[in-house]
Structure 1
Amino acid sequence: MGLARLTGALGATALTAGMLFAGAPAASADQVRDAQWANAYFDLDKVWSVSKGDGVIVAVIDSGVDANHPDLAGSVLPGYDPSGHGWEAKPTEEHGTGMASLIAGHGHGNGEGVLGLAPGAKILPIYRGTTTTTSDAMPQGIKWAVDHGAKVINISQVTPRGVEDGFAEAVAYALQHKVLIVAGSGNDAGPVRTPANVPGVLAVGAVDKNQKVWAKSNYGPEVMLTAPGADMVMAGVEGLGSCQGQYCKADGTSDSTAYVSAAAALVFAKYPDLTPGQVANRLVKTAAAPAGASQLPDAHYGYGVVQPYAALTKNIPAGSAQGPLAAGAAAPSAGPEASAGSDSDGTGAGGIKSPEAVSGIHQSSSGSSLPLVLGICGALVVLLIVVIAVAVASSRKRRRAQGLQAQAGAPYGAAPGWPPAQHSYGQPGQQPYGQPGQQPPPPYGYPQQQPPYGGNPYQDGNQSR
């Protein structure tokens, strides 16, 4: 049994597998709450003494959310279905309700039901839509979420392979409006899937209760964080899918994605002026380094397992506006805290060098280095004026020299200005603004080449304390 499948009507694949909770619907409050092992890992009381995510809207692009579930009642806002059927409020599967409960579940009664990591947050349900072979409705949902107040967008889904149209533009739109997108890496132990592999998205893998990577968690250089994702108990929808009653148990990067989205909501609630990249910066720098990892980021763990309390309380300079997020889209302007965390050379806290500060390269989600097109129009204009001025002065000197040469008996038929002046710019094997023969840095690839941001900028902040 499982939800990791593609259906004829729904193009996205849910990233939760094997949903079933033994004993439901007659499960006791102890069964549900006690089975949430992640609550003890996060130490919810400690986290909630700092932030519960109050005032932060988390969009859940999924199969719809049951707003009437007792553990979510009052926490679900009116949402959106691109098809116009209203399925955002009439779940077609239990998956979306489960993700919403891990983010903002508040339980019910006297200690009953599911608790989410950020129970003060509000859920904005967006139906994931249908797909063709070349497009997907999720990008439309991303833009709608941005326009309707979401601060975090949770996508516990992957698209069919090859369906990528519109995601880059949608992610850029979200970043420009200071909205963080969190997406699951995938559940087939292969490369990171779309949309988690889109530049600018915070990609998440899953670990079990021993903080070991879940066997089916997809991996690659795009993975930035991991979070609990095995044996997760969550809310469900009675009569839908493999849930029995109102609760389910599942494995998958869906669940870990929901927890990272909730952690981001906690941070946004405490530090509302941070950009998405700066929130990611806090989460990454305070993550628990996995045992035995020799170098971070690791393709399976990213920078480690998310630790919300540390992200909320440690002294982490804000850093650059983009932080560790991939630079595939224009970053928002930094909040007022950013300057305190940036060094004069453009390096943020922990040694992250913001892509805009690195001369000659442009970072992508996998850290590949591409030639930087001189995009600052003002600088180009100034450069052009200088070049013209130099050329005019040089021309005048050549004419004077030619006159003297003619008087001294220049060779017959020699063209004015011959031989031409030699310039290093544009010559084979040479680079503008560099030394002769200098080659551009190699692109980042997994695993042989070095990761983005110059090695492991997070080593000091990655240890559990």
Structure 2
Amino acid sequence: MSKIALTNGFTTSRTRIAMALGATLLSMTGVARAADFSDGVHEYARGRILVEGRAGLAGDDLDKILKAHGGKRRKMGQSNLQIVDLPAGANETAIVEKLRRNPALRLVELDRKYKSTLAVNDPYIGSEWHIAKIGADIAWDTTQGAGVTIAILDSGVDGTHPDLAPNMVAGYNMASNNTDTSDVCGHGTAVAGAAAARSNNGTGVASVAGQAKIMPIRIASYDSATGSCQAYSSTIANGITWAADRGARIANVSYGPLAGNATIQSAANYMKSKGGLVFVSAGNNGLNESTTPTTSLIAVSATDQYDKKTSWSTHGAFVSLAAPGASIWTTSKGGSYGGWNGTSFASPVAAGVAALMMAANPSLDGAKIEQALFSSAVDLGAAGRDSSFGYGRVNAAAAVRAVRASVPVADTQKPASTITSPAASSSVSGLATVNVTATDNVGVTRVDLSANGTIVATDAASPFSFSWNSANSANGMVALVATAYDAAGNFMASAPVSVNVANGSVTPTPAPAKDITAPVSSIDNPVAGTVSGIVAISARATDDSGPAGLFTRLYIDNTMVGQGYGGVQSYSWNTALWSTGTHTIQFNAADAAGNWVPKQVTVTVVR
């Protein structure tokens, strides 16, 4: 193995960083290739699909839907996304088509395979040209990203690398379901270094956000047939939700192209609901992709030293932003350094700029960081947003100035919401889909659905829709109300829509002299584990005498946060207002005879 070592110094107004640059061959290890299948365009995982129920769909109701196909679900963190394992020999495509016709489900799709967006490795580049190009050295006089955690969803990270070790925090291996986050391909180590290798330490390279923390999440396995690391929609989405639940503000995924994947978009929306942002690489096929633009992901194309789009960078209307991605000198597996090309490296460069911005003004949420990131970018190509550069090439200096100058303006305008279906006076039974339109001058952060005054479900992602189990309400007229909230806490309820619940008459069985059967209750979300940001608590109860006589209460650490009649309680818990550490959520449901059994779950709040 040969190695080349060079040194090159440069000085900012306050910072001098010595860089030792080297290159080494990458040794690749990994696991055997899965027996996937192809539709002629993409490859998909055998034996599993991805599903998300509409807000309010209870776990056992989802289980009943999946049971018809032999499916068993695994929840992705505290989100509503589910990995569904299918029995051997199942036709994944046919099951997806059938489930897509079920109105209780918001999302159903195959588990697609993705490759890393590495182009070529050039070991002879000896200069970090991109640092000065984007003005990161100027931004460093204000911030270097301290206090912000960037989740690197990739092939793992070499946590022993001297330029990465000081910034590492605990991560997870989604590909193997364990805590081994070592790098099986080398790609993740290079991506992590581009975003947050330790700066001003007299060693190796300087990254964009050298004091930000790195959360390694392995989403990929080595594929010996292709000689590359490959990930799935399920491991990527699971990694995003895992990171969001543990306080990461930024996630970077240099695989793809991902912008058109509904499951990953949903996971990204989950992270955005907690004030975070998800950056993804545009891809390296050099083609103009017709992928529909999304507001959930920041897709980054690659530029060169001359602010030109690289020949191999994928482009299209879905591109949000551009960043340097050619000859990016960064960390390599095994403690060395090398020059790397690809949108794989443009994406973490942009993610590093966002980390600088968040550290410079921690009071801003993800939406405001994103807005300032786009508005401060250097407009290249056609005026305004275009298919090659999105809103432009990132400008760290201007972006940090923008957020530091940002003066909060009091938002006093209330959002508006309307229940568009079901229609007033219509009859419903079983699982009923409730659709809501909600608007705001800044943005709607969530919508609560109430039935006869009790919150039954919360949705934090547009388009807002719910799967309401009308069996949890007594037969007769029930008033549905949607309440929309914005980030400033303004809220307004919609006009009520009254519907007739008609679940059929139940012939009562002879009752014992005294009702001694307690209701059966459950907490669907959150599950035991770590939480952060806004947490949607959902709990429900059933009773042998029906829902009419049920009275429920919801507590957090013995503080009551909700109560009402019927079998369902929902609450949007802002953990930022509570201390870090362990908290207990308790749900009590009592029937008319006074029987009750508490249900509780313990979670740990992190920042």
What TM-score do the two structures reach when normalised by structure 2?
0.48
Superposed counterparts of 1:207-222, under 5 Å: 207-222=303-318
Residue pair 1:57, 1:122 contacting (<8 A) in 2 also: yes
How much has 1:120 moved relative to structure 2?
0.9
**CA shift digits 1:305-339 (9 cap, x unpaired):** 10011111137886xxxxxxxxxxxxxxxxx9253
| Partner AA of 1:248 in structure 2 | G
Please give the alpha-carbon distance, in whole angstroms, between the structure 2 residues aligned to 1:147 and 1:345: 27
Matched, 1:230 2:326: yes
- Counterpart for residue 115 of structure 1: 206
Q: Which residue does the alignment assign to 1:403?
A: none
Structure-to-structure mapping, 1:368-447, within 5 angstroms: 377=482, 382=495
| Structure 2 CA distance for partners of 1:218 and 1:376, relative to 1, 3 Å | farther
Q: Partner of 2:204: helix, strand, or coil?
A: strand
- Mapped partners of 2:230, 2:346: distance in 1: 28
Question: What SS class does the counterpart of residue 269 from structure 2 fall into?
Answer: helix
Structure 1 residue 168, shift from structure 2 partner: 3.1
1:288: which partner in 2?
Answer: 378
**DSSP 3-state at the match of 2:205:** strand
Of 293, 298, 306, 1:202 maps to 298
Instruction: Verify: 1:356 aligned to 2:429, yes or no.
Output: no
Distance 1:178 1:100 in 2: 21
1:16 aligns to 2:118 (yes or no) = yes
Matching residue's letter, 2:300: V
Structure 2: distance between partners of 1:339 and 1:113: 45
CA shift, 1:44, in A, is 3.7
Aligned-residue CA RMSD in angstroms?
3.9
Q: Which residue of 2 aligns with 1:393?
A: none
Q: Percent identity?
A: 27
> Hey, what does 1:178 align to over in structure 2?
275
Query: Who is 1:101 aligned against?
Result: 193
Aligned match of 1:153: 251
The answer to whether 1:125 aligns with 2:150 is no
Q: How does 1:129-144 map to 2 (within 5 A)?
A: 129=220, 135-144=233-242
Superposed displacement of residue 250, structure 1? 1.8
The reply to whether residue 54 of structure 1 matches residue 157 of structure 2 is no
Between the two structures, name the one with larger relative contact order (CA 8 Å, sep ≥ 6): 1
Instruction: Give 1:236 shift.
Output: 0.7
Which runs of structure 2 are paired with 1:263-274 in the superposition (5 Å)? 263-274=353-364
Counterpart residue type for residue 287 of structure 2: G
Kindly state the Cα deviation for residue 89 of structure 1 after the two structures are TM-superposed.
2.7
User: Who is 2:366 aligned against?
Assistant: 276
Structure 2 equivalent of residue 307 of structure 1 = 395
Question: Could you tell me which amino acid in structure 1 is paired with residue 482 of structure 2?
Answer: C
Counterpart of 1:442?
none
Flag the 1:167–1:193 CA change in 2: closer, same or farther, 3 A. Answer: farther
Q: Distance in 1 between matches of 2:363 and 2:497?
A: 38
CA contact (8 A) 2:131 2:137 kept: no
CA distance in 1, matches of 2:338, 2:346: 15
CA distance in 1, matches of 2:254, 2:186: 13
Unpaired segments of 5 or more residues in structure 1?
23-30, 239-244, 319-335, 347-354, 359-369, 386-465
Distance change in 2, residues 1:286/1:134 (3 Å)? closer
* C-alpha contact (below 8 Å) 1:159/1:193 kept by paired residues: no
Contact 1:58–1:150 at 8 Å: present in 2 too? yes
Distance 1:117 1:303, change over 3 A: same
> How far did 1:356 drift?
2.8
Give, in whole Å, the separation in 1 of the partners of 2:310 and 2:327: 10
Do the aligned partners of 2:237 and 2:263 also contact (CA within 8 Å) in 1? yes
Q: SS where residue 227 of structure 1 aligns?
A: strand
**Shift in alpha-carbon separation, 1:381–1:266, aligned structure 2, 3 A:** closer
Matching residue of 2:338: 248
Q: 1:337 aligns with which of 366, 391, 408?
A: 408
Within 2, Cα distance between the matches of 1:268 and 1:315? 8
Residue identity opposite 1:167 in structure 2:
I
Structure 2 spans left out of the alignment, 5+ residues: 1-24, 35-44, 46-112, 222-228, 417-437, 442-461, 467-479, 484-491, 499-607
Question: What amino acid maps onto 1:156 in structure 2?
Answer: S
Q: Contact (CA 8 Å) 1:190, 1:219: kept in 2 or not?
A: yes
TM superposition shift of 1:197: 5.6
Instruction: Check conservation: 2:481, 2:495, Cα contact below 8 A.
Output: no
Q: In 2, Cα distance between the equivalents of 1:178 and 1:78?
A: 20
Structure 1 residue 219: Cα displacement: 1.4
| 2:309–2:389 contact (8 Å) kept in structure 1 | yes
Q: 1:132 to 1:224 in 2, by over 3 A?
A: closer
Larger radius of gyration: 1
1:230 & 1:20 partners in 2: Cα distance? 9
Give the alignment partner of residue 64 of structure 1, picking from 139, 145, 156: 156
Q: Secondary structure at the match of 1:58?
A: strand
Question: 1:263-284: per-residue Cα shift (whole Å, max 9, x none)?
Answer: 1101111111212121011111
Equivalent position amino acid for 1:37 in 2: W
After superposition, the Cα gap between the structure-2 partners of 1:82 and 1:384, relative to the gap in structure 1 and judged at 3 Å, is closer
Superimposed CA distance per residue, residues 198-251 of structure 1 (whole angstroms, 9 cap, x where no aligned partner): 54111111100000011121112221110101111111113xxxxxx7122221
Q: Distance in 1 between matches of 2:155 and 2:284?
A: 17
Separation in 2, partners of 1:133, 1:152:
19
Task: Tell me the distance in 1 between the aligned counterparts of 2:201 and 2:366.
Answer: 35
Equivalent pair of 1:18/1:249 in contact (CA under 8 Å): no
- Larger helix proportion, structure 1 or 2? 1
The TM-score normalised by the length of structure 1 is: 0.61
SS of 1:115's partner is coil
Q: Is the 8 A contact 1:233 1:248 kept in 2?
A: yes
Structure 2 residue aligned with 1:167, among 256, 264, 268? Answer: 264
| Bigger share in strand | 2
Return closer, same or farther for 1:191/1:147 CA change in 2, 3 Å cut-off.
farther
Question: Would you say the 8 A contact 2:194–2:348 is kept in 1?
Answer: yes
